[in-house]
């Protein structure tokens, strides 16, 4: 599969057969310009939104006739199996910011999990429901999501082969959240790429767990 990082929590997952999945598309310029990543206007076959906030649910610029997933459930489309798991956007059962969906995507003999705006650690039941994860897309910036320290715990609980951090402070995101370095410092096998895309196959998964930082494409 090819993973493209647009910025913030938005990704494009393209399978070997060409199925295009866009996850958590943001509204460019949202929150009075606090989020200034470029507009997402690619075509998609599937769009997943983890929750109903403007930095995660802006689908109107996406092209194509796509299937929209925004609720808990399981379905199979083309060469992709998707399971969405209900969690919370905060550490108080959703009382502060509501619900959040974890998306577990099974395709190309790989399992990828996008954690949305997860706001708490995962209990045994949630970990069992997720199952084995090869690639983890994980929020790390804190304030609106789990912070760097809790993100490390969630990563270690899930034990993915590859973790790609998201939802952290950059020059194009001036939310009161922390930069990616707060998460990566002190961690082993951290690779900061110059690119916004990475190709991953089952046979190329690392033997030792890695953290891969992608550059935002937009």
Domain ranges of the chain: 2-213
**Residue 95 has what pLDDT?**
62
Of the candidate ranges 85-99, 137-151, 185-199, the one whose mean pLDDT is the lowest: 85-99
Beta strands in 53-192 (DSSP E): 67-69, 73-77, 80-88, 99-107, 110-114, 135-139, 162-166, 190-192
pLDDT tops 80 at residue 214: yes
pLDDT tens digits, one per residue of 12-71: 999 999 999 999 999 999 999 999 999 999 999 999 999 988 899 999 999 999 999 999
pLDDT tens profile 106-120: 999 999 999 999 999
Given CATH 3.60.15.10, say whether it is the number of domain 2-213: yes
E-strand stretches of 24-115: 46-48, 67-69, 73-77, 80-88, 99-107, 110-114
Q: What is the per-residue pLDDT for 93?
A: 76
Q: Residue 104: is its pLDDT beyond 70?
A: yes
CA atoms within 13 A on the CB side of 76: 3
Is the pLDDT at 190 greater than 70? The verdict is yes
């Amino acid at each position: 599969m090819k993973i493209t990082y647009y910025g913030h929590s938005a990704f494009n997952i393209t399978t070997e057969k060409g199925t295009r999945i866009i996850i958590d598309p943001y509204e460019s310029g949202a929150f009075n310009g606090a989020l200034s990543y470029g507009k997402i206007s690619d075509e998609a076959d599937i769009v997943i939104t983890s929750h109903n906030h403007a930095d995660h649910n802006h689908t109107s610029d996406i092209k194509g006739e796509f299937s929209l997933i925004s609720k808990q459930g399981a379905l199979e489309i083309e060469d992709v199996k998707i399971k969405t798991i209900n969690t919370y956007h905060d550490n108080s059962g959703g009382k502060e910011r509501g619900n959040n969906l974890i998306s577990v995507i099974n395709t190309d003999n790989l399992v990828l999990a996008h954690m949305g705006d997860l706001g708490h650690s995962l209990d045994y039941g949630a970990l069992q429901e997720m199952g084995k994860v090869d690639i983890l897309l994980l929020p790390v910036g804190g304030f609106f999501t789990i912070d760097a320290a809790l993100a490390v715990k969630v990563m270690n609980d899930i034990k993915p082969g590859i973790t790609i951090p998201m939802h952290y402070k950059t020059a194009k995101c001036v939310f009161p959240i922390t930069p990616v370095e707060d998460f990566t410092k002190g961690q082993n096998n951290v690779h900061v790429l110059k690119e916004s895309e990475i190709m991953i196959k089952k046979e190329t998964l690392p033997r030792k767990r890695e953290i891969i930082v992608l550059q935002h494409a937009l």
